[in-house]
Structure 1
């Protein structure tokens, strides 16, 4: 029994070390200032602070990769979440979205924060300060509603 336990521990340790050599790319694509949310949309300071604290790591091309994003298999999940977040909504490329997509994304921002789907619960495990208060949610939803009303009809 002890021998089996030791062999299992050694195999698991070797496997853990081995997977450290498979590192998915952590990419922060260049940010083109003219394509950002701030370039085309009025973002009040209070909204900018909320976005910075709770959204930008996964929804911009300026992700902060903390130390634990260096350790597999956790790194794989983090990179996957960031890539998926950027695919769904990338505030660094907001200006290239068409009007219909912008309206839809503004609606989704309010829906996702109101329902508690965003920020992602796994992100909140480590980033407690990213938790949105009811006031934060109201500020974001009021802002998204105002921005939607300013977009041209489609």
Structure 2
């Protein structure tokens, strides 16, 4: 039984070291200061209400500008969110709307 506890303790120590080490590797954030001319808001004639809905509900994963939650500063959550945003942009990117078609 003591050997099993020692293995579990060693495993937890290794896991903690890995999680601490991951904190030093940060993926590049999806943040741009300008709205490109290819953005759907600039290329399509839509109401302000529709534009606001897209920005509030969709742009974090489907544009070139993401508003990250506080927990994005913790690995491995930041790695998961980075992959999620990349995948969302790969399927639909409102910032590149004019380039579709």
Instruction: State whether TM-score is above 0.5.
Output: yes
**1: CA distance, partners of 2:68 / 2:48:** 24
RMSD: 1.9
Where do 4+ consecutive residues of structure 1 move more than 4 Å? none
Given the alignment, which residue of 6, 10, 17 partners 2:9? 6
Q: Which has the higher helix share?
A: 1
Is the contact made by 2:30 and 2:65 (CA closer than 8 Å) also made in structure 1?
no
Is the alpha carbon distance of 1:96 and 1:56 closer, same or farther for their aligned partners in structure 2, counting shifts above 3 Å? Answer: same
TM-score normalised over the length of structure 1: 0.56
Q: What's the offset of the Cα at 1:82?
A: 0.7
Structure 1 unaligned regions, length at least 5:
102-154
Is the contact made by 2:60 and 2:85 (CA closer than 8 Å) also made in structure 1?
yes
Q: Summarize the alignment of residues 20-99 of structure 1 with structure 2, pairs less than 5 Å apart.
A: 20-29=23-32, 31-97=34-100
Is the contact made by 1:31 and 1:61 (CA closer than 8 Å) also made in structure 2?
no
* Residue-pair matches, total: 98
Structure 2 unaligned regions, length at least 5:
none
Structure 1, residues 31-78: CA drift from partner, whole Å, max 9, x if none? 344221111101212212221221010111120122211211111110
Is the contact made by 1:30 and 1:61 (CA closer than 8 Å) also made in structure 2?
no
